[in-house]
């Protein structure tokens, strides 16, 4: 397991509701539903629940729009080439389809288990997948890019400063309010390692309603996602520093975009 960098901001009760770590690769044309079952046998002790899902569309590396780290599609058609494998409490989720393998943690009321554990889990699951393909004499995945995504649920007032600076552009149009009622913000930042560009950090804040003990409350879904081209398409170890770089960029950006008063509420101790 990797260790947490000492310089990173840390919170005892962060507002994170989902984290995803994964890789995208060239479509494995030889992959069949039967192979999903063989893969499940290798990870079933840790992920005993399996559900079929429709395939997600290919992800374009440099697109600004952020797809959810997991997505439920309801359809009358038979499920296509994607399967969910979940832990018994459904908080851990492995998604497999012919062009990606993603490991998610989803908040189910428990404490966030931390990125180091999730990255270790992903690495083990990925090795199981590659090993299965090798045993079947099928081509291994040729990775195109990696992703790290954090999804946070934050009270609307917590992002007022950010939204007012970037999104509240007054307009003068007859019969139209000067400022929008709801604001959605999407930003994109290049990310470097040793001054060499390696990927991009995407930030998306979108409004919604959060159920709280005091009733429905306006809130924002704050998504921070890092995407980067794989360093070597057939060696997952080469991409580990990309996962770690993305996580550092996401945590530091989260701290930079949110207010110190909220940091105290979330139990910041670094």
Residue-by-residue DSSP string for the chain: -PPPPTTS--BSS--EEEEEEEEEES--TT--HHHHHHHHHHHTTT--EEEEEPPPPPPPTT-SS---SS-----SSPP-SEEEEE-TTS-EEEEEETTEEEEEEE-SSSPP--HHHHHHHHHHHHHHHHHHHHHTTPPPP-EEEEEEEEEEEEEGGGGHHHHHHHT------TTS-SS-SS--EEEEEEEEETTEEEEEEEEEEEEEEEEETTEEEEEEEEEEEEEEE-SSTT-GGGGHHHHHHHHHHHHHHHHHHS-HHHHHHTTB--
pLDDT in the model for residue 162: 67
Residue 132 domain flag: yes
| Residue at 189 is within a domain | yes
pLDDT for 42 equals 98
Q: Tell whether 50 is covered by a domain.
A: yes
Q: Is residue 38 part of a domain?
A: yes
What's the pLDDT at 166?
63
Mean pLDDT of successive 10-residue stretches along the chain, which has 270 residues: 85 95 93 93 98 85 58 46 93 96 94 93 96 95 95 82 65 79 81 93 86 77 94 82 95 91 92
Question: Is residue 97 one of the residues assigned to a domain?
Answer: yes
The range of the structural domain enclosing residue 229 comes to 16-265
Q: What is the pLDDT of residue 74?
A: 46
- At residue 81, the pLDDT reads 76
Instruction: Quote the pLDDT of residue 40.
Output: 97
Q: Is 270 part of a structural domain of the chain?
A: no
pLDDT, residue 174, reads 86
**Is residue 2 assigned to a domain?**
no
Q: Residue 76 has what pLDDT?
A: 47
In a domain, 183, yes or no: yes
Number of domains in the chain: 1
Write down the pLDDT at residue 129: 97
């Amino acid at each position: 397991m990797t260790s947490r960098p000492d310089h990173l901001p840390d919170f005892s009760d962060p507002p994170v509701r989902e984290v995803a770590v994964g890789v995208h690769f060239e479509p494995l044309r030889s992959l069949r539903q039967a192979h999903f079952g063989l893969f499940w046998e290798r990870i079933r002790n840790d992920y005993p629940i399996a559900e079929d899902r429709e395939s997600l569309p290919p992800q374009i590396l440099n697109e600004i729009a952020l797809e959810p780290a997991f997505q439920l599609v309801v359809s009358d058609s038979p499920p296509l080439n994607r399967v969910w494998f979940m832990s018994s409490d459904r908080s851990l989720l492995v998604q497999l389809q012919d062009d990606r393998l993603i490991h998610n943690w989803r908040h189910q009321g428990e404490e966030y288990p931390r990125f180091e554990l999730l990255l270790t889990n992903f690495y083990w699951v990925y090795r199981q997948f590659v090993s299965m393909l090798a045993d079947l004499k099928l081509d291994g995945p040729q990775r195109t890019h990696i992703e790290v995504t954090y999804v946070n649920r934050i009270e609307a007032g917590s992002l007022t400063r950010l939204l007012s600076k970037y999104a509240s552009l007054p307009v003068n149009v007859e019969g139209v309010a000067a400022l929008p009622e709801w604001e959605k913000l999407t930003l994109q930042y290049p990310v470097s390692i040793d001054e060499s560009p390696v990927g991009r950090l995407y930030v998306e804040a979108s409004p919604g309603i959060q159920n709280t003990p005091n009733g429905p409350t306006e809130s924002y879904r704050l998504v921070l996602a890092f995407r980067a081209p794989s360093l070597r398409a057939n060696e997952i170890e080469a991409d580990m520093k990309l996962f770690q770089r993305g996580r550092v960029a996401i945590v530091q950006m989260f701290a930079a975009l949110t207010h110190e008063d909220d940091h105290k509420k979330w139990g910041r101790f670094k």
